Amino acid sequence: MTSANSFSVSGYGPERAGWTRLFARDSLARRLDWPILLSALALSGIGSLLVYSATRNRTEINQGDPYYFLLRHLMNTGIGLALMIGTLWLGHRALRNAVPILYGLSVFGILAVLTPLGSTVNGAHSWIVLGGGFSLQPSEFVKITIILGMAMLLAARVDAGDKKYPDHRTVLQSLGLAAVPILIVLLMPDLGSVMVMVVIILGVLLASGASNRWVFGLITAGTVGAIAVWQLHILDDYQIARFAAFANPDLDPAGVGYNTNQARIAIGSGGLTGAGLFHGSQTTGQFVPEQQTDFVFTVAGEELGFLGAGLIILLLGIVLWRACRIARDSTELYGTVVAAGIIAWFAFQAFENIGMTLGIMPVTGLPLPFVSYGGSSMFAVWVAIGLLQSIKVQRPMSA
Amino acid sequence: MTNIPETGRTPRVQIRLVVIQILVLSLLGTLGGRLWYLQIREGAAYQKEASGNHVQQVVDPAVRGDILDARGVPLADNETRLVVSASRTDLLKQKDDGEAVLTKLAGVLGMKPADVMRKVRLCDAETPQPCWNGSPYQPIPITDEATAKQALQIRERAEDFPGITAEPEAVRRYPGPGKSNTSQVLGYLSPVTDEEIQKAKDTDSPYLRSDMVGRSGLERQYDKALRGKAGVTRYEVDNLGRVIGKARSDAAESGSNLITSIDSRVQRVAEYELDKAMKVARQQYDKITGENYKADSGAVVVMEAKTGRVVAMASAPTYDPNVWVGGISAKDYKALTGKNSEYPLLNRAIQGQAAPGSTFKVVSTAAAVEAGYPFDGRYPCTSSYSVGSQVFKNFEGENFGPISLGRALEVSCDTVFYGLADKEWKRDGGINPEKGKPKDYFYKAAHQFGLGKETGVDLPNEVTGRVPDRQWKQDYWKANKDAWCKSGKKDGSYVEKIAYENCLEGNKMREGDSINYSIGQGDTLVTPIQEAAIYGAVANGGTLYQPTIGKAIVSADGRTVTEIKPKKNGRLPVSQATLKGMDEAFAGVITRGTAAWKFGGWPQDKIPLHAKTGTAEVYGKQTTSWLATYSKDYTVIMTIAQAGTGSGASGEAVRNIYSALYGVGGDGSVDKKRALLPEPQKSLPKVRPDGTIASPKVAGDPAKDVEASQQDNPSNDDGQTPATSPSPTTGNRDTRRRRRGRGSRRMPT
């Protein structure tokens, strides 16, 4: 009906003044999914406070500036917002056409990490240091390209009306498309990201309507793969230790179990209302490692208590709930599959991240969407929000 | 737009989307549930763990309260020593971990640098002493004997000694006013043990690692009050132990002061007289064993008769309580507790027990009156009392004819009591009484006099003594019969014969047991403090008081004074008339009875004294001497083991104690100015507004003053040989009991 670029929605009714137009019944502002946007903004805002609380005393990493991480987190959020708007501007359908380029770029990115360009953080060789204190984690963007690429392949013939469900050949193609970057990430080794990607594949396949055999086959393959990885000693010692500490948290509380133990003490000591922002002794005393990134939820648990930490879970729930609505309301399978991929991504990453701080999941280096400090992750999740908004606003204009 | 969007999706996709949605929500629900579990249900436990994580405590020890005598003279106080300490936290901040500072400090203190380093290192499994085993956040003492000059050097150049402090600190001291010692009563302190810390962890008075704990005597009994409450400064630290802030801190609360009823001067006199009496006894020849008396241990108790408050309590052998200060050396410790030490740590006034000998006759007299024998009746005091083949003799076979119970007390006639006890034994059914029938007046009376159980004196580890009644005999026989039956022989040695008899009927109350018992021989055991309570009760009209030493606990600021009131343990089972009779008899002991030869010239009309002597037989040892006495206000009990007779061994010492109390000169004159304590100290010493307690000076040596005043005492004549002949000045018969020839009576075991 109209162009895919729908920032200025025209073609309906008479032209109106800018202000009125923005709030017109059919305007973009009216059609945006505000609960998702506001929840994501709130999460980023809370995240900036928590990141600040966790880093203001860490002179060894904040370069003597207590606001170093706070400002960067806010800046990342701003860039993320801009990326969301850009994504919305382009629209998820236009991005479908750009999948080959995006795919090529991201695979190149993660390959670059494996070269001497990359650097190792916490045992995972998954970073490209850009200089000036900035670094990039290409595996975050790979998640998006996998979602877009698989969705493109799986939905193409269904949306065209040729098939009711994607056929085996298409499924195989899409799996092949995902397998290449996953194998590269596995080489880093960034086990957490691999797990997220596998879950994304599962979500995408489910939503695409692919045969049950593929779904169960993938679950079986994942299980067998996990056992193989364990049995063949592909894991590094630190990864085995993390799982051992998960299985028995009291094991060696000063060593391997230290992280999980201190994290749980921090959260447990928060009680109903918490120690108050900036008053958490575990946080101030830096007993929990990686507290601005992977363990940021412990700051919320200790300083904001059950109410604050629960609010984070609630906000994530709103984002996921609205995303589910968007997936179900999309007029085309492509949108549904993209949304489902994002849901699988966010849901698993949030569950794994919060779960490990609560001691119900093993420790892996995954950030909490919107809340954790980290540019790449922040950019990726905001692009995902842009995709969801794009699916939402473009719904009525389906071909 | 349409209301029903044209999704064109198959039901399969729709269903799967719903499944995804449910899955996602249940994951989030799981997180919420787990969060609730950690924060709300288990929150308190984690809070505790978190606070243990990040708070480190530095202890500011409380100053231990003083122990004062009745006039406020300190018996135990604290002296200030200059303690130089190093703070590890500060030292570690320095580039070389404080090595330069410690080396410089060693120079100032005149120590070897290596020694100083060793003192500040932390103890662990591989680090031998010296090392610091307290909290690493606690200042570590390097020396407590710094001179003022050294302390000044360190303080004035504080910038040269970062992390080093030179502060005056309180260290326990036992000043021993007027040469008194009071060691066993005061007790001692030693560092708290790990076990005690664990045990007291969750109580309202937890120990700190640096605490000293009272181990015996008053230090232990009143430890909680004296100890006070240590102050704690809490530092918040980060995961590397660096201090990041100060948390809530509690200021130290000094311990309360304990005012006792002890009078340090009387205490000194008692200690001195006990020691002298024992030395004198060792010069005396014991005709029975054929060698000088050993006089190896003794005790004396001076108690207020009308309140039970202890004015002086001495035990010999004794020791210097200051050996404990600053940690006792292994050598000193062995000297106090080793096998050859004679156990000077024992307070024999409450932990020494012996057969009471004739001092027990006060119980027998009361029992006889209870059993229906009138006090003023006539009872034969024959020279001996025979039961079957056994002959129980009076001392040197004296015969007074029929006499009253009072007179029997006065002259300590054994046969009167033998007869009465034997009659009662027969009335109770003899060797095989009917069950529940025996009236056991003599045994019941002993219990009513408070024997066989603690008096409840406010000192730890008091012993009970023993009343050898039927129940005890039964228990004792059960415990020992196997050994007796094994070693006993009918025609063996003396010991084997006894064992044989005991094996056969040791569980039964035999005729000889009851007869022996009536004069305080045999298996009966009493402590000096029990005797003090009993004779105090006779003096005050029949009330048994619980002896007390603590008189009041005064808080460090002086605002709260908690008086420790005298407590009554009960009443003697004696009528006032009988008490009066006993009183007269005991006065007679002084004027014409067994103690008269030691109290010649005593101003009995002005200061009436009463006494009962006792000489208890101990198998295989020399006799234990007892002298139980009382005046209107005081009771004085003295006992010396292996020292002969009560009057002979202790008469002079006890007289001197009374002389000191009342200011009696050797010639019988009474000089109030010289009297140390003519009336019991009723009021508490004055507490000044700042909480300190006023105390008079104790100059010189009260014991020497008393000794000097007794020069012209007629009983002290050098030519006298007290142990063998009656005093010529009084013309009285010496009726002290003596051990009979072997075999004439059963020996107590």
Give Cα separations from B79 to A243, A352, B397 (angstroms). Answer: 60, 64, 61
What are B674-690's pLDDT values in tens digits?
899 999 988 889 888 88
Q: Which of B8, B39, B54 sits opposite A271 (nearest CB)?
A: B39
Q: Do A208 and B25 touch (CB under 8 A)?
A: no
The burial class, CB within 10 Å (0-12 / 13-18 / 19+), for A360 is middle
Specify which of A287-296, A366-375, B53-62, B664-673 reaches the highest per-range mean pLDDT: A366-375
The angle, 0 to 180 degrees and rounded to 10, between the axes of the packed helices A99-114 and A168-187 is 30
- From chain B, pick out residues whose CB is under 8 angstroms from the CB of A272: 39-40, 43
Q: Which of residues 55-94 of B touch A (CB under 8 A)?
A: 55
Q: Could you list the beta-strand ranges (E) of B349-399.
A: 379-381, 384-387, 390-393
CB pairs under 8 A between A and B: 165
- How many domains in chain B? 1
Give Cα separations from B389 to B392, B432, B448 (angstroms). Answer: 10, 20, 34
Using the Cβ of A282 and the Cβ atoms of chain B, whether some distance falls under 8 Å is answered with yes
- Measured between alpha carbons, how far is A380 from A374 in angstroms, rounded to an integer? 10
- Measured between alpha carbons, how far is B1 from B414 in angstroms, rounded to an integer? 129
Is cis: bond before A181, omega within 30 of 0?
Answer: no
Residue B447 is predicted with a pLDDT of 94
Q: Who contacts A355 (Cβ-Cβ below 8 Å, separation ≥6)? A: A361, B30, B31, B34
Read off φ and ψ for residue B605, nearest 5 degrees: -70, -35
DSSP-derived secondary structure for A72-138: HHHHHHHHHHHHHHHHHHH-HHHHHHTHHHHHHHHHHHHHHHHSTTEEEETTEEEEEEEETTEEE-H
Say if CB A318 and CB A35 are below 8 A apart.
Answer: yes
Mean pLDDT value of segment B347-351:
94
- Measured between alpha carbons, how far is A369 from B558 in angstroms, rounded to an integer? 64
Using the Cβ of A300 and the Cβ atoms of chain B, whether some distance falls under 8 Å is answered with no
- Measured between alpha carbons, how far is A175 from A264 in angstroms, rounded to an integer? 38
DSSP-derived secondary structure for B77-141: EEEEEEEEEE-HHHHHHSTTTTHHHHHHHHHHHT--HHHHHHHHSBP-TTPPSS-B-S-TTSPEE
Residue B218 is predicted with a pLDDT of 94
Instruction: Sort strands B67-68 and B257-260 into parallel, antiparallel or unpaired.
Output: parallel
Q: Is residue B215 part of a domain?
A: yes
What are B560-590's pLDDT values in tens digits?
899 999 999 999 999 999 999 999 999 999 9
Using the Cβ of A340 and the Cβ atoms of chain B, whether some distance falls under 8 Å is answered with yes
Using the Cβ of A344 and the Cβ atoms of chain B, whether some distance falls under 8 Å is answered with yes
- From chain A, pick out residues whose CB is under 8 angstroms from the CB of B239: 285-287
Q: Which of A207, A271, A331 sits opposite B43 (nearest CB)?
A: A271
Is cis: bond before B317, omega within 30 of 0?
Answer: yes
Is cis: bond before B130, omega within 30 of 0?
Answer: yes
For residue B453, the tally of other CB atoms under 10 A from its CB is 14
Residue A62 is predicted with a pLDDT of 76
Residue B646 is predicted with a pLDDT of 85
Say if CB B288 and CB B739 are below 8 A apart.
Answer: yes
Return the residue of A nearest to B40 by Cα.
A271
Instruction: Report residues of chain A scoring pLDDT below 70.
Output: 1-25, 121-125, 130-134, 233-236, 238-239, 241-257, 395-399
Using the Cβ of A347 and the Cβ atoms of chain B, whether some distance falls under 8 Å is answered with yes
Q: Is residue B113 part of a domain?
A: yes
Query: How sure is the predictor about B431, in pLDDT bands with cuts at 50, 70 and 90?
Result: confident
Return the residue of B nearest to A282 by Cα.
B50
- Reply yes or no on whether the pLDDT at B749 is more than 50: no
Residue B326 is predicted with a pLDDT of 62
Using the Cβ of B17 and the Cβ atoms of chain A, whether some distance falls under 8 Å is answered with yes
Q: Which of B31, B49, B244 sits opposite A355 (nearest CB)?
A: B31
What are A350-399's pLDDT values in tens digits?
999 999 999 888 888 899 999 999 889 999 999 999 999 999 987 544 33
Six-digit token pair at B169?
A: 């600190």
Instruction: Sort strands B567-571 and A134-136 into parallel, antiparallel or unpaired.
Output: unpaired
> In 3D, which of B305, B270, B306 has the Cα closest to residue B658?
B270
Q: Is residue B201 part of a domain?
A: yes
Say if CB A276 and CB A303 are below 8 A apart.
Answer: yes
> In 3D, which of A193, A36, A189, A79 has the Cα closest to residue A123?
A189
Helix, strand, or coil (residue A323) = helix
What are B501-541's pLDDT values in tens digits?
888 888 888 888 899 999 999 899 999 999 999 999 999 99
Return the residue of B nearest to A57 by Cα.
B244
Residue B748 is predicted with a pLDDT of 36
Higher-scoring residue by pLDDT: A314, B172: A314
Using the Cβ of B53 and the Cβ atoms of chain A, whether some distance falls under 8 Å is answered with yes
> In 3D, which of A191, A172, A167, A153 has the Cα closest to residue A337?
A153
Instruction: Sort strands B310-316 and B140-146 into parallel, antiparallel or unpaired.
Output: unpaired
Residue B150 is part of a domain; what is its CATH number? 3.90.1310.10
Using the Cβ of B26 and the Cβ atoms of chain A, whether some distance falls under 8 Å is answered with no
Q: Which of A269, A306, A316 sits opposite B35 (nearest CB)?
A: A306
Q: Judge if pTM exceeds 0.80.
A: no
Q: Is residue B255 part of a domain?
A: yes
Q: Is residue B171 part of a domain?
A: yes
Using the Cβ of B562 and the Cβ atoms of chain A, whether some distance falls under 8 Å is answered with no
Mutate to test the interface with B, among A56, A212, A328 (most CBs of B within 10 A): A328
Using the Cβ of B22 and the Cβ atoms of chain A, whether some distance falls under 8 Å is answered with no
Say if CB B702 and CB B676 are below 8 A apart.
Answer: yes
Q: For the ranges A352-356, B542-546, B723-727, which has the lowest average pLDDT?
A: B723-727
For residue B737, the tally of other CB atoms under 10 A from its CB is 26
Mutate to test the interface with B, among A2, A158, A250, A265 (most CBs of B within 10 A): A265
Give the gap in angstroms from C-alpha A179 to the nearest C-alpha of chain B.
23
Six-digit token pair at B736?
A: 């002290």
Say if CB A96 and CB A335 are below 8 A apart.
Answer: no
Say if CB B467 and CB B446 are below 8 A apart.
Answer: yes
Q: Which of A203, A330, A396 sits opposite B20 (nearest CB)?
A: A203
Q: Do B39 and A306 touch (CB under 8 A)?
A: yes
Using the Cβ of B694 and the Cβ atoms of chain A, whether some distance falls under 8 Å is answered with no
Q: Is residue B118 part of a domain?
A: yes
Six-digit token pair at B691?
A: 């909480």
Using the Cβ of B15 and the Cβ atoms of chain A, whether some distance falls under 8 Å is answered with no
Domain coverage including residue B221:
55-260
Beta bridge partners of B76: B67
Say if CB B355 and CB B522 are below 8 A apart.
Answer: yes
The angle, 0 to 180 degrees and rounded to 10, between the axes of the packed helices A305-329 and A333-358 is 160
Q: Which of B12, B27, B45 sits opposite A347 (nearest CB)?
A: B27
DSSP state of B39: I
Alpha-helical (H) ranges within B541-645 are 576-591
Q: Do B7 and A164 touch (CB under 8 A)?
A: no
Using the Cβ of A207 and the Cβ atoms of chain B, whether some distance falls under 8 Å is answered with yes
DSSP-derived secondary structure for B422-488: HHHHHHTTTTSPPTT----HHHHHHHHTTTTS----SSTT----B---HHHHHHHHHHHHHHHHHH-
Say if CB B615 and CB B358 are below 8 A apart.
Answer: yes
Higher-scoring residue by pLDDT: B53, B335: B335
Beta bridge partners of B611: B629
Beta bridge partners of B84: B143, B166
Q: Is residue B48 part of a domain?
A: no
Q: Is residue B10 part of a domain?
A: no
Mean pLDDT value of segment B66-90:
87
